[in-house]
Chains A and B, each alone.
Chain A
């Protein structure tokens, strides 16, 4: 069990920063909101990829599925989806405050439930695959969903669905959605933190370390894997639903199933921070997002090349990430006792990246 030994002031600082940030920098509210989204991405990816050792390249599927479910629910509550989408965004739903938030709530909730159902079904199909096959298979699912969403006319096909218009002013909208993203990230973190302190975390870590032995020890591996992926899908679905409403427009290629942007960012952020740790994804997401936002515009088209180089360097030369590096540098600060007679160099690491 990974008991969280983080001092209380860290949480207080983060919580205050989260509340104060949009008031201090009102021009950057959306960027900071995306930071919380990135934290959520990294945390949900790490639950399956880092802690359980199932490296998925297709978690973005739940993001897009949640977005589409909420879009259909929100539009479907007020008008016929087929005729609405066939108008090609020519008309947009204009709602009052009550209707808007009522439909938003329903959309987000159903998106979460729908994604959990998807996760349970996909677990049955995908979790027989191991290692690279799982990664490629999940990537295939995400790409297939993207192609299907692009050809399904009822949900707008390639031209997408326009979401209902926010009833208030743009600044107010930014603040409201900032609040939602912040809350989502906090809830995800708290849930994941709680999960990591239970026997469940031990079970999924055992699956990561040696699945056959874990099964021999009596762990129902498929059930544990399904639950872990469902938790991940639950939060991803909600975040997708909220993201669709913030963007105001749902479209399969760039918004709903951005396989090469958000889908890869999740993995890179977790690896950068150190996978298989509680704080690694948060640190990685923060670092990645800040670097990206600051340097993106100065790289003049080279930003994607830089991202590719970052992935290569990170994966090949710095795979343990920041947390992993700190754990091997100062093991005693993480409650890891080093047996000097047993360790060959410096210290022996507990946890960290699985084989």
Chain B
């Protein structure tokens, strides 16, 4: 561990590598976390199946790529498919969960997560996979820093997707309705907004965002049926740290988490990379509790 720290101080250029890699994956975490914050804020459902939707999108992209369709081109298709799936899940399950006690949504979406993981496992097997995008890898600083072109492209796509979603929320009629429902569902209903439809749309939109994020994950990283849980936990870490309805906070927390994971993976060893998100989750919850206890209130 100390050797690795020494290495970082001897070759500061390695920091650039870690920071870049952290930013590239962090951008994807931001997408999934934004979807979670959306569903959480609008309908007060904590979606534990977030990471599973990401992995599901990744597998669909991988599946299409075996037919020769490039993963980048498959993003719109997968977003549409995941949108439809999210709508169906809403109608069959989530619809009955809204307004129930908080644990219900958590456990119900956990059930969804379990079904999705196991179905993917049955369909594709437990192997670790990557969708081939066929781009080159660039070396900078005499080979000390390597940047794959696909990572840059995926970073650009992340920004594009996020911009689309934000524009949609700000400009479109549906986005307006979603924001109104998030503020006060009852008042929105009085004003003639079909909140049922807004809820369904929000949940489906979340699934679509996650699916698109999953395509990017499958290109720049690896997918495996059971890798969804860390993604869900990351989304929770980011949203809990940033708070709901705080987009700049979500972006900062997402990048921060991505970089923190890269550093802990490098300094402590690769096996600690997974533990970082979980450890940070506990730390953030405790920290928020200490912060709140000053006001003699509860973290709710």
CB B135 to nearest CB in A, in angstroms, measures 33
Q: Please give, as numbers and ranges, the residues of chain A lying within 8 Å of B122 by CB-CB distance.
A: 301-302, 305
Asked if B111 and A308 sit within 8 Å, CB to CB, the answer is yes
CB-based nearest B residue for A301: B122
CB-based nearest B residue for A300: B122
Q: Please give, as numbers and ranges, the residues of chain A lying within 8 Å of B300 by CB-CB distance.
A: 130-131, 133
CB A25 to nearest CB in B, in angstroms, measures 31
CB-based nearest B residue for A136: B236
Out of A132, A150, A312, A317, name the residue touching B115 (CB < 8 Å): A312
Out of B103, B111, B271, B275, name the residue touching A132 (CB < 8 Å): B103
Q: Please give, as numbers and ranges, the residues of chain A lying within 8 Å of B106 by CB-CB distance.
A: 55, 57, 132, 135-136
CB B213 to nearest CB in A, in angstroms, measures 20
CB A170 to nearest CB in B, in angstroms, measures 31
Whether A130 contacts B298 in the complex (CB less than 8 A), given A147-B278, A307-B114, A308-B118, comes out as: yes
Selecting from B25-33, B144-152, B279-287, the interface stretch reads: B279-287
Q: Is A70 an interface residue (CB 8 A)?
A: no
Selecting from A40-48, A137-145, A192-200, the interface stretch reads: A137-145
Q: Chain B, interface size: which category?
A: 35 or more
A-side interface residues, number (CB < 8 Å): 41
Dominant secondary structure at the B interface? helix
Q: Please give, as numbers and ranges, the residues of chain B lying within 8 Å of A143 by CB-CB distance.
A: 229, 233, 278
- Count, A-B residue pairs, CB within 8 A: 119
Q: Mark B261-297, 1 if CB is under 8 A from A, else 0.
A: 0000000010110110011011001100100110000
A244 CA / B104 CA spacing, docked (Å) = 32
Q: Please give, as numbers and ranges, the residues of chain B lying within 8 Å of A302 by CB-CB distance.
A: 118, 122
A311 CA / B229 CA spacing, docked (Å) = 17
Asked if B285 and A308 sit within 8 Å, CB to CB, the answer is no
A302 CA / B115 CA spacing, docked (Å) = 9
Out of A128, A148, A310, name the residue touching B293 (CB < 8 Å): A128
Q: Is A309 an interface residue (CB 8 A)?
A: yes
CB-based nearest B residue for A267: B107
Out of A260, A307, A311, A354, name the residue touching B108 (CB < 8 Å): A311
Q: Please give, as numbers and ranges, the residues of chain B lying within 8 Å of A316 by CB-CB distance.
A: 93, 96-97, 104, 108
A147 CA / B271 CA spacing, docked (Å) = 8
CB B258 to nearest CB in A, in angstroms, measures 18
Q: Is B299 an interface residue (CB 8 A)?
A: yes
A125 CA / B285 CA spacing, docked (Å) = 9
A223 CA / B282 CA spacing, docked (Å) = 22
Q: Is A85 an interface residue (CB 8 A)?
A: no
Q: Mark A132-167, 1 if CB is under 8 A from B, else 0.
A: 110111001101100110110000000000000000
Q: Please give, as numbers and ranges, the residues of chain B lying within 8 Å of A205 by CB-CB distance.
A: none
CB B132 to nearest CB in A, in angstroms, measures 28
CB B4 to nearest CB in A, in angstroms, measures 15
> Which residues of B from 109 to 145 have beta carbons under 8 Å from A?
110-115, 117-119, 121-122
Q: Is B231 an interface residue (CB 8 A)?
A: no
Q: Please give, as numbers and ranges, the residues of chain B lying within 8 Å of A267 by CB-CB distance.
A: 107
Asked if B93 and A140 sit within 8 Å, CB to CB, the answer is no
A137 CA / B272 CA spacing, docked (Å) = 19
Asked if B299 and A128 sit within 8 Å, CB to CB, the answer is yes
Q: Mark B223-254, 1 if CB is under 8 A from A, else 0.
A: 00000010001001000100000000000000
A147 CA / B279 CA spacing, docked (Å) = 10
A151 CA / B1 CA spacing, docked (Å) = 13
Q: Please give, as numbers and ranges, the residues of chain A lying within 8 Å of B281 by CB-CB distance.
A: 136-137, 140
Asked if B103 and A140 sit within 8 Å, CB to CB, the answer is no
Asked if A309 and B115 sit within 8 Å, CB to CB, the answer is yes
Asked if A144 and B272 sit within 8 Å, CB to CB, the answer is no
Whether A151 contacts B272 in the complex (CB less than 8 A), given A143-B278, A144-B279, comes out as: yes
Q: Which 8 A-B pairs have the closest CB atoms?
A: A308-B114, A311-B111, A308-B115, A147-B275, A312-B111, A304-B118, A128-B289, A131-B102
9 extra A-B contacts, CB within 8 A, seeds A141-B282, A308-B111: A125-B289, A129-B298, A133-B285, A136-B236, A144-B282, A147-B274, A305-B115, A308-B114, A354-B101
A–B Cβ pairs within 8 angstroms, 13 of them: A55-B103, A128-B289, A133-B240, A133-B299, A143-B229, A147-B279, A305-B119, A307-B114, A308-B111, A308-B112, A315-B107, A319-B100, A354-B101
